[in-house]
Structure formats: structure tokens, C-alpha cells
């Protein structure tokens, strides 16, 4: 296993393997990705120049069903990162008992530096390059960091052009008018909210006595912050890539969302700008936010935000990971020693892939559900799996992260072992 992020992610697997009775064959197969694809994507820019972008798609495991995972556009996208994300998706899908394997994709770029027309050409070029690698029964795409339903619509349309047939099931998170599911765009944040509401009472934390900080104010962070605010929780701080704001009396999340949508960042939300009516909010950095004395910290940005370097400064009592991989394995050990429970990413942010599954099912059946039906199904499935993870953690005396991997490993192991193991082939019966 090469690559620091993937090596760190794999440590979670090694720890959980001690508590499961899966075969040696299954454990070995889960240490390596099944397929990895690197592609070059030529794009004619608006000024007539030609640029080549690097893209990736990794299908980590498809024992339980076709690969499933998002596509992210970000300057730091690398094969190591995409492989790690596909690894996490494998266990996330198994944990939620979805009939999918794990996959992920990405393109290395700053999407904010491209025009909409250039982004469309790039997105369609990516599908041209990986078309033989994906499909409704092979590997299904979805939005991720800096991709959205419009980009998913371009990708689905391009795949359909290549296949010469309408293929809505190859992509989830697409526009509703193109076969998308209602509730998918907000599913990650909505699912995280359902899980917080179900788990916090175990610690006697209720809306009236719980303060929170949300790092990352993209789609998922924005949705969970707004739902928490509406439920009566006090959100003291939020941040995006440009910085954050803090108010010990609590932030007015709906007003902040309106400003964010109008100005595309939180940077202007101070009294020396034009929005003094938003209150006396203090400017803070992302690093400051992670160290705030709140009850609940919600990292909803990128990987490796809580590390060995800053884990001792975390003052939150509980952490709910909405981002993928925001806590390193070294930080996990520090937080555990300090008695800070970490609800893991593969559970907390699983709302997105769960509703992606619902969308895929709707595409295949041609029957579409209301947003109330989608959210009810999401809440039922996510809370049930969270309760299972909680019971496993109590039973084995392990962290919630290890408990989540134990649950996922048991399901993956059963599927892998069904294809035959060393013990099966060595037996004389």
C-alpha cells in the first residue's frame, strides 16, 4: 500500500480485523483496490488554448454490487486521495447495507478558475475518457467536492450519447428533470442531522443545552447547520475555505446562508463590510474553529483536518465527521485517550450514498418517490445502522469508528467468502 493518505486510511481496517471472523482471503483482498484508472483530458479553453487535465477513477471493491462513488474537482486531487475515498466508500456502502461496492473519481484542477463552458467540456471529456470503465451495473457516479447536479447532468448526458441510449442510472445526484431524486441534493447534511438527533440524547445533549461548530460550509455543512439551527441547537461558529465566523451567542444561520449564496463566501460577513445587521460576529480561521470550546464539532470540509498536531487543542466533547477522512489515525488515538467520542465519516455522511441508492432504484423501476418518502427511508436506515454501531462499540469496548468497520467487514466478509476461501478449497468434503 503506497501513499500516505491511503496507508493511514488502511490502519482502520487493520484494527477492525481483530474483531471479525472473516476469512484470511477476504481480509487480504480488502487491502487492495480492484481497478485504478488514470486519464488525461484535453480541453479547448475559451481563449483557444489547449489544456490537459489529469483525471482518475478507482473501483476499490465490487463484491456486493456495482461501484458507487462521487467525482470531485479540486487542486489537490491525486490517485492516492481517490483510492482512499474509494476505500471509505466500500465500507460505507457495506455499513449501510447497500448493494454497492466502493468507488471514487476526481480531476485535478481549480474549478473556480474555469468558465461554465470550460467546465462542461471538461466534464464531458472526463466521461469520454472513462466511459468503458463505468455504467449503471458497473460503476455509478455522483457529486462530491465542487461538483453539483448540473455537472452530473452533463456527465449522464455524455454517457447516454456514447451509449446511444438514455442511461440515467449511470449517475446519481443529477437534476430531477433528468431522473434525479428529490432530496438527493441535501441528503448528506440531512442524514447527518438525523444521526445527530438520534445519538446526542445518549449523552444527555439536547437542543436547549448543546453548542456546535461546523467546519466547512459547502452543501453538506450548510444543510446540517441550517437543520440544527431550525431544531433549536446553538451553532456558534462556521467556516469555509476563506475563513470563518464566531458568535458566542449563536449565529443566525438562514441569514448567513443567504449571504453565502449571494457573495459565494463568508469573507464579507463582518461589520466593516455591508452586512452589519448580521450581528457582532468575530472572524476566525479554520484552525481556530477546530479548537473552540463547544459541545459538538462537525468537520464538514476536506480530509486530514484533525491531526496529531492539533488534536490536543480540540475542546469539543463530541465529534461528528461529515467530511470524508477529516481525522487522521494518529489524531484518533489522541482523541480516544482524551475521552472524546468520534462518530465516523462512513456512518455520519452516509446520507448522500443512501439517497443515491434510492435514486438508482427509482431510475431502474421508473417509479419516483416524494421528498417525504425519501427522507423517511433515509432516517429509518441511517438511524438503525447507527444503533447497531453503538451496540457493537459497547459490546467490544472499541471506538465508534472501529465498531463501524466491524459491521461493514462482517458484511463484506460474507460476500467475499461466498466466492470460496482457502479453507473451502483445502477441505476434502
CATH number at residue 302: 3.40.50.720
Q: Residue 13's pLDDT is what?
A: 78
- CA neighbours closer than 13 Å in the CB half-sphere of residue 259: 21
Q: Which domain holds residue 343?
A: 181-358+371-429
Question: Rounded CA gap, 151 and 149, in Å?
Answer: 5
- CA neighbours closer than 13 Å in the CB half-sphere of residue 221: 27
- My answer on whether 160 and 186 are in the same domain is no
Q: Please say whether the beta carbons of 266 and 239 come within 8 A.
A: yes
Q: Please say whether the beta carbons of 70 and 142 come within 8 A.
A: yes
Residue 147 cell numbers, joined: 461538483
- My answer on whether 159 and 285 are in the same domain is no
- My answer on whether 92 and 194 are in the same domain is no
Among 143, 171, 199, the domain boundary falls at 171
Kindly state the helix (H) or strand (E) to which residue 288 belongs, with its residue range.
helix 286-290
Q: Residue 268's pLDDT is what?
A: 46
For residue 117, the tally of other CB atoms under 10 A from its CB is 11
Enumerate residues 6+ apart whose C-beta is below 8 A from 328: 8, 304, 306, 307, 308
Q: Residue 277's pLDDT is what?
A: 34
Q: Which residues pair with 53 in a beta bridge?
A: 41
Within its chain, how far is the Cα of 390 from the centroid?
20
| pTM for the model | 0.89
Helix axes 253-263, 219-230, angle to 10 degrees: 150
How many domains in the chain? Answer: 2
| Torsion of Cα atoms, 292 then 297 then 301 then 303, to 10° | 100
Sheet containing strand 342-343, edge to edge, reads 282-284, 243-246, 234-240, 211-215, 296-299, 318-320, 342-343
- My answer on whether 165 and 203 are in the same domain is no
Question: Rounded CA gap, 284 and 176, in Å?
Answer: 37
Q: Please say whether the beta carbons of 78 and 108 come within 8 A.
A: yes
Residue 379 cell numbers, joined: 432516517
Closest CA to 298 of 342, 333, 259, 232: 342
- CB-based burial, 71-97: b 16+ in 10 Å, e otherwise: bbbbeebebbbbbbbbbbbbbbbbbbb
- My answer on whether 99 and 210 are in the same domain is no
pLDDT in tens, 186-242: 999 999 999 999 999 999 999 999 999 999 998 899 999 999 999 999 999 999 888
Answer whether residue 19 is part of any domain: no
For residue 242, the tally of other CB atoms under 10 A from its CB is 12
Answer whether residue 15 is part of any domain: no
Given the residues 11, 34, 92, 104, select the one marked as catalytic: 104
Answer whether residue 61 is part of any domain: yes
Answer whether residue 238 is part of any domain: yes
- My answer on whether 145 and 82 are in the same domain is yes
Each residue's pLDDT tens digit in the chain (429 positions)? 344 688 887 777 788 888 888 888 888 888 889 999 999 999 999 999 999 999 999 999 999 999 999 999 999 999 999 999 999 999 999 999 999 999 999 999 999 999 999 999 999 999 999 999 999 999 999 999 899 999 999 999 999 999 999 999 999 999 999 999 999 999 999 999 999 999 999 999 999 999 999 999 988 999 999 999 999 999 999 998 888 999 999 999 999 988 877 776 555 433 333 222 345 689 999 999 999 999 999 999 988 899 999 999 999 999 999 998 899 999 999 999 999 999 999 999 999 999 999 999 999 999 999 999 999 999 999 999 999 999 999 999 999 999 999 999 999 988 888 777 666 666 665
- My answer on whether 188 and 289 are in the same domain is yes
Q: Is 104 a catalytic residue?
A: yes
Amino acid at each position: 500500500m503506497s501513499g500516505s493518505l491511503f496507508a493511514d486510511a488502511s490502519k482502520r481496517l487493520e484494527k477492525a480485523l481483530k474483531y471479525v471472523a472473516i476469512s484470511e482471503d477476504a481480509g487480504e483482498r480488502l487491502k487492495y483496490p480492484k481497478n485504478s484508472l488514470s486519464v488525461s483530458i484535453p480541453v479547448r479553453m475559451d481563449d483557444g488554448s489547449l489544456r490537459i487535465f489529469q483525471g482518475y477513477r478507482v473501483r476499490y471493491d465490487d463484491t456486493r454490487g456495482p461501484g458507487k462513488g462521487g467525482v470531485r474537482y479540486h487542486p489537490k486531487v491525486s490517485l492516492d486521495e481517490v483510492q482512499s475515498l474509494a476505500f471509505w466508500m466500500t465500507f460505507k456502502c457495506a455499513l449501510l447495507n447497500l448493494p454497492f461496492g466502493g468507488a471514487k473519481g476526481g480531476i485535478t484542477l481549480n474549478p473556480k478558475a474555469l468558465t461554465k463552458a470550460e467546465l462542461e467540456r471538461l466534464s464531458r471529456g472526463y466521461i469520454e475518457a472513462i466511459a468503458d470503465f463505468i455504467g449503471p451495473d458497473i460503476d455509478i457516479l455522483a457529486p462530491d467536492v465542487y461538483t453539483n447536479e448540473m455537472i452530473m447532468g452533463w456527465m449522464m448526458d455524455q454517457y447516454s450519447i456514447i451509449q446511444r441510449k438514455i442511461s440515467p442510472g449511470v449517475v446519481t445526484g443529477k437534476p430531477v428533470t433528468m431522473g434525479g431524486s428529490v432530496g438527493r441534493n441535501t441528503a448528506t447534511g440531512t442524514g447527518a442531522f438525523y444521526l445527530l438527533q438520534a445519538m446526542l440524547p445518549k449523552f444527555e445533549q439536547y437542543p436547549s443545552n448543546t453548542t456546535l461548530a461546523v467546519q466547512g460550509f459547502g452543501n453538506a455543512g450548510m444543510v446540517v447547520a441550517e437543520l440544527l439551527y431550525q431544531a433549536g441547537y446553538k451553532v456558534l461558529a462556521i467556516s469555509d475555505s476563506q475563513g470563518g465566523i464566531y458568535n458566542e451567542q449563536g449565529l443566525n444561520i438562514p441569514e448567513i446562508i443567504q449571504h453565502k449564496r449571494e457573495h459565494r463566501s463568508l469573507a464579507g460577513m463582518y461589520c466593516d463590510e455591508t452586512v452589519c445587521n448580521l450581528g457582532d460576529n468575530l472572524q476566525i480561521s479554520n484552525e481556530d474553529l477546530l479548537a473552540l470550546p463547544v459541545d459538538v464539532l462537525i468537520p464538514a470540509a476536506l480530509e486530514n483536518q484533525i491531526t496529531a498536531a492539533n488534536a490536543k487543542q480540540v475542546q469539543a466533547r463530541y465529534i461528528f465527521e461529515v467530511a470524508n477522512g477529516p481525522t487522521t489515525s494518529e489524531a484518533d488515538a489522541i482523541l480516544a485517550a482524551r475521552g472524546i467520542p468520534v462518530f465516523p465519516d462512513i456512518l455520519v455522511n452516509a446520507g448522500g450514498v443512501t439517497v443515491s441508492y434510492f435514486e438508482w432504484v427509482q431510475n431502474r423501476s421508473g417509479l419516483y418517490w416524494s421528498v417525504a418518502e425519501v427522507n423517511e427511508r433515509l432516517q429509518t436506515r441511517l438511524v438503525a445502522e447507527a444503533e447497531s454501531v453503538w451496540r457493537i462499540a459497547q459490546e467490544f469496548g472499541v471506538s465508534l469508528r472501529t465498531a463501524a468497520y466491524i459491521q461493514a467487514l462482517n458484511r463484506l466478509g460474507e460476500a467475499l467468502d461466498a466466492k470460496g476461501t482457502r479453507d473451502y478449497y483445502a477441505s476434502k468434503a
